Amino acid sequence: MATRTTDAHPRGLAGLAKRVAEHASSLVRLELELAALEVKRKVTALAVGIGLTIGAAIVAVFALGFLFATAAAALATFLSTWLALLIVTLGLFVLTAALGLVGVAKIKKGTPPLP
């Protein structure tokens, strides 16, 4: 019994090798497209997360400012307003100086000495 061959699916080793190469090529193309879509989705989620975190940091800075204003207002209940504000401001300068000195000490400790 004779078998019928078609041009769409050539028989033989050469035809099979051609079909495997075509399928591998399309598979690689589809995998690259899928990888690009996954990266795009992750980058979008990361960008939204970064935006929300920056927004939270900005709100935290305002909240910290209101906290210091509240401390000054609390001091102003039994001191003059200018004195309460001055005390809070000096406290902030002391805190800033302490943090700065600790930071500089850590930097000096972490950097190697010059030859």
Q: How many domains does the chain have?
A: 2
Q: What is the pTM of this model?
A: 0.59
The answer to whether residues 30 and 57 belong to one domain is: yes
91 part of a folded domain:
yes
Helix (H) or strand (E) holding 16: helix 13-75
58 part of a folded domain:
yes
26 part of a folded domain:
yes
* Domain carrying residue 17: 11-62
pLDDT of 93 > 60? The answer is yes
pLDDT attached to residue 111: 79
Q: Do the beta carbons of residue 88 and residue 71 sit within 8 Å?
A: yes
The answer to whether residues 57 and 93 belong to one domain is: no
pLDDT attached to residue 4: 54
Separation CA 108–CA 112 (nearest Å): 8
pLDDT attached to residue 50: 93
pLDDT attached to residue 17: 84
